């Protein structure tokens, strides 16, 4: 059985999902791939995991790096989970490119190359936004692309973390279509 809980963040309402033990989903209400982890029965319920996650988010949205991580359960394909594990290693306030993550996956698998687009798809389907920091991944040219919660939120999360925003930009629609 899965359970849900709401959290009001400065960037919009968040929905949290969990089983009895660990967080299984966290997303902005209405974002792309919203509620992908909520297949099957679920109910709104107060759980200790939601209290831990809310405490983590309170610290985070206050502009501090939390010094703990609630238990997470990331369910996806082996490729997706490998990408998500790399996301978890990106330090607070730092960024990586899709290409850098693709190179790391290739190195782990002992192959010459990995598609940055495939990495982008896995990053975009990250079920636990913010805690698994997909917002810290940018295009090779500095574009803030690929955030299911929206580019403005991605920029705000990076600003909150005091990431170096020089050279980063939100692509215009015309650039995005090219």
Q: Which of the residues are catalytic?
A: 134
Which neighbouring-strand residues pair with 4?
17, 44
Greatest distance between any 2 Cα atoms in the chain: 47
d(CA 120, CA 32) in angstroms, rounded, equals 14
d(CA 136, CA 168) in angstroms, rounded, equals 11
Among 177, 156, 5, 65, which residue's Cα sits nearest to residue 168?
156
Pairing assessment for the beta strands 2-9 and 42-44 based on DSSP bridges: parallel
């Amino acid at each position: 059985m899965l359970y849900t809980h709401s959290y009001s963040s400065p960037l919009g309402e968040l929905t949290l999902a969990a089983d009895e033990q660990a967080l299984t989903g966290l997303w902005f209400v209405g974002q792309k791939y919203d509620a992908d982890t909520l297949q099957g029965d679920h109910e709104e319920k107060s759980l200790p995991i939601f209290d831990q996650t809310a405490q983590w988010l309170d610290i985070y949205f206050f502009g501090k790096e939390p010094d703990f991580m609630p238990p997470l359960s990331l369910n996806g394909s082996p490729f997706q989970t490998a990408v998500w594990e790399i996301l978890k290693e990106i330090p607070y306030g730092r960024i990586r490119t899709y290409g850098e993550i693709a190179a790391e996956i290739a190195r782990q698998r002992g192959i010459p190359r990995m598609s940055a687009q495939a990495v982008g798809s896995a990053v975009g389907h990250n079920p636990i936004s913010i805690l698994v920091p997909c917002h810290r991944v940018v295009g090779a040219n500095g574009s803030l692309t690929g955030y299911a919660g929206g580019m403005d939120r991605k920029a705000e999360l990076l600003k909150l973390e005091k990431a170096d925003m020089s050279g980063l930009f939100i692509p215009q629609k015309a650039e995005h279509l090219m």
